[in-house]
Structure 1
Amino acid sequence: MAQQSLAGWHKPDLDLSNADWRSGSRGRGDVQIAFVEGFIAMRNSGRPESPSLIFTPAEWGAFMSDAREGEFDLT
């Protein structure tokens, strides 16, 4: 499998060890987010050791807008 280039990737390598992880489903969901150094990190609560996704505020806003509009709903 060819490795994808991360050209244009300008997000820092954040230290998430002390992040305040929050669940939107009051702890019942699989996704947690944390606000760290001006970025938004998202992880799988069932596998917190796996890599987190890192969003800029603009990316997070677009993601949330699309989610509210049903962009990611399963049919």
Structure 2
Amino acid sequence: MARVNLLPGPVPVDEAPPTCSAKGCRAPATWALSWNNPALHAPERRKQWAACDAHREHLASFLDRRGFLRDVEPVAAPPA
């Protein structure tokens, strides 16, 4: 997966967009979902899932039901 920036605003990528994290999906990701498990991670720690438009709501809902979802940011287009 390409590195993503955890700063506010569109999430830039260094190369091609990462692939969606949904099981079996190989679509390019258009969203970065930042999350952490408060029982395991320090409050400032952020893990990333990538999501395509079709799976954004499903993945965000999965994380939110568990209290893990922190931010959802668009993935910026790679530099030309």
Task: Answer yes or no: same fold by TM over 0.5.
Answer: no
Q: Which entry has the higher C-alpha Rg, 1 or 2?
A: 1
Which structure's relative contact order is higher, taking Cα pairs within 8 Å and 6+ residues apart? 2
